[in-house]
Structure 1
């Protein structure tokens, strides 16, 4: 028994940082699809009813502090977090249903695409709750989201993230091609954008279906087949027709091999039909999403080329007099070089907005115009002339200037020892003010510093040693200091008030 009593006790297990972080992740929730006006206080009011909440943070833009539409809620217990998912998921807050899922800190897991399903051709009346209930039959769902427009209407497609790949495959097998509210839906594996673009590039190189247009009513199915059969085996031919049976002037020709389709495009594009004014356009047949992607890529390329062309030659002029017109801009700026365009911006009623643009052919001419025309009087106002910037560049420049000013203010605050605290953008959900030092209700002389240690010691009889106004008692001890008469103090004016006039009374000597 003595040995047992004297045996060293086993160390008490303590929570390691890794275990604490793991527990925090198990009780951390991601809350998405938030209304921009939702505050941390509103979320706290909702989630604190479920259980004790450690923290709530709405993610915001670092510069504008506007909500990014999602937040993180940390509970003390993972069981409370699960209750919050069951009770509050898809609840409407500020006219929008919120979306709750477990927070996943590892970005590789979020981007892997495992268990992620894409659903399209949804009826616009199907809401997120109905979609969740439909697909939750096949396994646990981590996230369910219907794409919506700016006004909150469904765009007809959704994304569902299952906890396991098996549940996702089961949902694809069981639901793909089924009718949901009268519409046949498509359910398939979600593909990231990089994979879709790679697949699109492969489709461009290996295609078998050709699109043919601009033949009017000259061709039918048989004549179209006769034109293209020399390039290889044709699997199908169709000329598209309207409800009256008339040709729409375009159709499709499908070959059995990609080589035959490529040969048809190469030889038949711009082919002129004999005894006709029609010249064919032949290209690879594209799906709607492929056409939209290609048009978007073409538009972005043109936009980049146009911006590159106007770089350094397009001027922004503001503070224009209301009487200034396009011709006036050409007249005043034309002496610096050839102008490609000059425009004064106007509102819907045709009134000048007070600014405009002048575009030169050469950057050197634009530079001369900036130097010569800045602060030049046209009408009754001095001009402000500078190079035109894109909206994105202006936002980035303003953000940089704001951060520089903020850093400068912080540096000044640290170097000058100004009392108070400078608050900048924070990652926390709430701003917590630092404790303030109590101050007297009137102005004090900040130049007087208090001593770090008292000028007297704790020796009995020496409590008031060297204090101003002290006096000596019998026995050599110091007594308390004599009270010093001070003038009255006016707290409003911060100035000593004058003492009332007193008359001296001369006492006769006895």
Structure 2
């Protein structure tokens, strides 16, 4: 069958959509697969902006539509990493996808019918733009699917021929796809009517006959069922289907909340699992918003907590500032996650606690204390801060590679250079600023003289190949905890930090941070290090010693960078 993109339908020439990809499929695997069909111009797998995990789909662009057609004809539903891939023409126009023109809905499908089987069945009627069987969370068919043809004429022909036919010994329904909103609008008040009800909390002793007798008095019952365990005992819930919607509504009104053998019954409209989950999600979100509004201004967020903190200790540290209604250290598998919340009874008490406790060292760590914020508000605040810094950098004539104006260590220079960002000062303290070109053509750090150059490290003391004759006693082991030598990633001695000038301290900390962050995120180590160098030296020193605290701060920096990229689409971003 000729699968060249049809006339009148807007497709990028030679562009294919590839879906149902295994999580482990990489761009290299896609290139190796599709390059056999023709010259591949470009391809990409769409990934989550934060986690970089595959979203399960991507795009392949060929040099010509003929190559794309060959790939579509020969590779559709081929297994890749053990999972069949689904290929279709790349359809960029959302109005065409959502219009419903040529879109067909199929239900009552056999569970064994997959995407390929349905594609083979309906491709006899004309060109298919997309074809998909709906799957549940476990990957099994839900019994319905969709086929999008290139024209309404082909769709009508498929409906006429296949509707009512047997597919795998099941009579299928095939009809024009109608969005739910339009269906409800067409039905009007009938869409709100229901005939099936759900009953729960009646215990394990309910018999089918007793269940039917209780609910048959409200109207004609077409079917009733009590859910049971394998040993035939009741699960405590069941379903009743009425012929008349008014009977179902009356049963709900009279039986919901009524007493049965010492139990309070719940009786309501029967809902599908997806509908019920969506309703619970909205209810939870509403409750969360109500809680946040209720405690806004009095709920305090504390992070950088020592591992020894418990709810009682957290409360005792803050109860001197006012009446505490709750104090909670957040845990995971019984271990502290390093942060918690304290809720006061009045806003002035919370403000006093923030003023007195923020930055105070409790245990072995300086605390961070601030009013609790929702994740969305926190992300918006961080984004606005970085946008403001970017504007300040442009005003001072600094050039930076599409990201927030943080200092980025030059890749090609030795030794590396660190320092606080000049964009935060009203004027540079050094008149002469030079820039070091980076390999990708962008500009890196301003070089602020020699004050920020890492001092040359002394040459290591050479050890004798053999023990000196006549000297007794054990020799020092290189990895002994009593040795005083420090590797490149080991925390620097506190005495060295104490006797160093502030700028030298910042430089020493920068060297340590860059080496550690480079192992976690090598492609973003420069930007992240520059961001971390804005933090106070004492907290930086603690972060170097406490890897969990540093890792949390690095993840926060990555989230900010991603938010910046998403909100500054007009800027050219280079990592």
TM-score by length of 2: 0.55
CA contact (8 A) 2:11 2:92 kept: no
Query: Over alpha carbons, which structure has the higher Rg?
Result: 1
Deviation at 1:369, TM superposition (A): 1.5
- The answer to whether 1:340 aligns with 2:325 is yes
Question: CA RMSD for the aligned pairs?
Answer: 4.6
- Residue aligning to 2:101: 114
- Residue aligning to 1:308: 293
- Residue aligning to 2:542: none
CA contact (8 A) 1:40 1:56 kept: yes
Once residues 256 and 312 of structure 1 are traced to their aligned partners in structure 2, the CA distance between those partners, rounded to angstroms, is 54
Cα distance, 1:341–1:31 mapped onto 2, change above 3 Å: same
Of the three residues 338, 356, 362, the one matched with 1:378 is 362
Deviation at 1:108, TM superposition (A): 1.0
Deviation at 1:326, TM superposition (A): 1.6
Cα distance, 1:361–1:176 mapped onto 2, change above 3 Å: farther
Q: Give matches, 1:243-262, under 5 Å.
A: 252-262=239-249
Deviation at 1:110, TM superposition (A): 0.7
Once residues 59 and 224 of structure 1 are traced to their aligned partners in structure 2, the CA distance between those partners, rounded to angstroms, is 53
Q: Which has the higher helix share?
A: 2
Q: Give unpaired runs (5+ residues) of structure 1.
A: 1-20, 426-432, 437-510
Deviations 1:29-52 (A, max 9, x none): 333344667666655554444344
Once residues 59 and 398 of structure 1 are traced to their aligned partners in structure 2, the CA distance between those partners, rounded to angstroms, is 25
Once residues 325 and 58 of structure 2 are traced to their aligned partners in structure 1, the CA distance between those partners, rounded to angstroms, is 49
CA contact (8 A) 2:16 2:61 kept: yes
CA contact (8 A) 2:11 2:89 kept: no
Of the three residues 141, 155, 168, the one matched with 2:128 is 141
- The answer to whether 1:234 aligns with 2:213 is no
Q: Give unpaired runs (5+ residues) of structure 2.
A: 1-7, 405-438, 443-575
- Residue aligning to 2:401: 422
Cα distance, 1:23–1:49 mapped onto 2, change above 3 Å: farther
Q: Secondary structure at the match of 1:323?
A: coil
Of the three residues 321, 329, 337, the one matched with 2:306 is 321
Once residues 43 and 211 of structure 2 are traced to their aligned partners in structure 1, the CA distance between those partners, rounded to angstroms, is 69
Q: Give matches, 1:121-270, under 5 Å.
A: 128-146=115-133, 153-154=139-140, 156=142, 158-165=145-152, 167-168=154-155, 170=158, 174=162, 178=166, 180=168, 190=177, 192=179, 194-195=181-182, 202=189, 205-214=192-201, 217=205, 221=209, 224-225=212-213, 229=217, 233-236=219-222, 238=224, 240=226, 242=228, 252-270=239-257
Once residues 201 and 289 of structure 1 are traced to their aligned partners in structure 2, the CA distance between those partners, rounded to angstroms, is 22
Once residues 266 and 52 of structure 2 are traced to their aligned partners in structure 1, the CA distance between those partners, rounded to angstroms, is 52
Once residues 90 and 178 of structure 1 are traced to their aligned partners in structure 2, the CA distance between those partners, rounded to angstroms, is 24
CA contact (8 A) 1:115 1:162 kept: yes
Deviation at 1:82, TM superposition (A): 1.4
CA contact (8 A) 1:50 1:83 kept: yes
TM-score by length of 1: 0.61
Cα distance, 1:69–1:363 mapped onto 2, change above 3 Å: farther
- Residue aligning to 2:282: 297
Alignment: residue pair count:
397
Cα distance, 1:123–1:26 mapped onto 2, change above 3 Å: same
